[in-house]
Structure 1
Amino acid sequence: MNITRPLPAVVAVSLAIIGWQYFNRPAPVQLPPPQLSAEKAGELVTLRLHYANILEFFQKRTQDIPLTPYELRLGGTKVLMVVRGDCEISTNLQAARYEQVQQQTKSLRVVLPVPRLLQPRVSHAAREAGGSYFYTQTEEGLQYLIPSSAHQIAATNNGWAAAEKDISRYCSSPQWIAEAKKNAEQVLTPMFHASGWTATFVWQ
């Protein structure tokens, strides 16, 4: 015959505490998705623009006057540059931060830095491959400029620098920054929804 023995008082109390802790433990806290990050130095590229323009400038031709701080102007060359290139606008996700995280409603605010120009590029490819090229304007009309002297090399170097500066100006316009913001939100919103969170984006 089996005889049921009463549990020792210490064991009974321990089991009661364990049971109370198990049934009354708080629900696990649901955390927002991990802090945003990206593979490419934290940059999320949301807009790529193609650029084409014609730049015109005058390349002076001078000769230094020995033993003086002056130079003799010998004329110059009028240059037309057909510029082709592209640029990217991105958001630095490593600088993102969370604010107003609400566990009950699973909502939060994501503060992001304003998108910035990441990489302006002037195409150095051949003209037939869609690259940039130069003309000189003479009395006979336009002629291809092929660097063959120090003066012509200086003209092309100045042209490359001016082209990159103009691409940067074009791609940094408010119109493209606004579009980059919109595209970034369209990319990031589904990421939060997939984790069950609703995000509001603020740009600073």
Structure 2
Amino acid sequence: MEKNENVEVAADAALVVVDVQKGFADPCWGRRDNPAAEGNIAALIDAWQGSGRPVVFVRHDSTGPRSPLRPGQPGNGFQDVVEERRGKGAGPELLVTKSVNSAFYGEPDLDAWLRGAGVRQVVVVGVQTNMCNETTARMAENLGYEVLFPIDAMHTFDATGPFGWTLTAEELARATAVSLHDGGFATVVSTADVLRGVAAGAAGVG
């Protein structure tokens, strides 16, 4: 992954951590990509909390009767990498619950919370790259936010579509990155790019 030299991270940028839940370890989802995702998500949460920036934790409360993400099931809970970090930051924190793809259609109202805090830039990470992450990023841009999308701080799964077409998780992640970039929905970056932006801001040069 190429280095992006000029990723500026606003002092009040919000990190939106989408659906990093235990249920996504269930074999029903199939093969996934990017085993480094959880470590990169953890590094970003640590950087946000250490700098006092706002963090939003999003949880998918599935309405599907067989989904491992439905409320009351162990899979509905956050993975340890997230749960052990909740409430540990110096900055504001929000828990949003949803039952659809976009974090902007949940409770409480994410857009209202961000606007109330004066936030204009969001960084989207979590699960799944081409589903809730991509939908949240697209809607954030439509609502007027600047969106950073660290493609290596998320993962997805192999999928089968119409006409017998199949795509691997890696192909889906690449398609998401190209679609968001080409459509102007987000700046697709790496975790390292974002961490450098946070460090530059702390040094007073970003």
Larger Cα Rg: Structure 1 or Structure 2?
A: 1
If each structure's helix is expressed as a fraction of its own residues, which one has the higher value? 2
If each structure's strand is expressed as a fraction of its own residues, which one has the higher value? 1
Question: Which category describes the TM-score, using the shorter chain as reference length?
Answer: under 0.3
Normalising by structure 1, what TM-score? 0.19
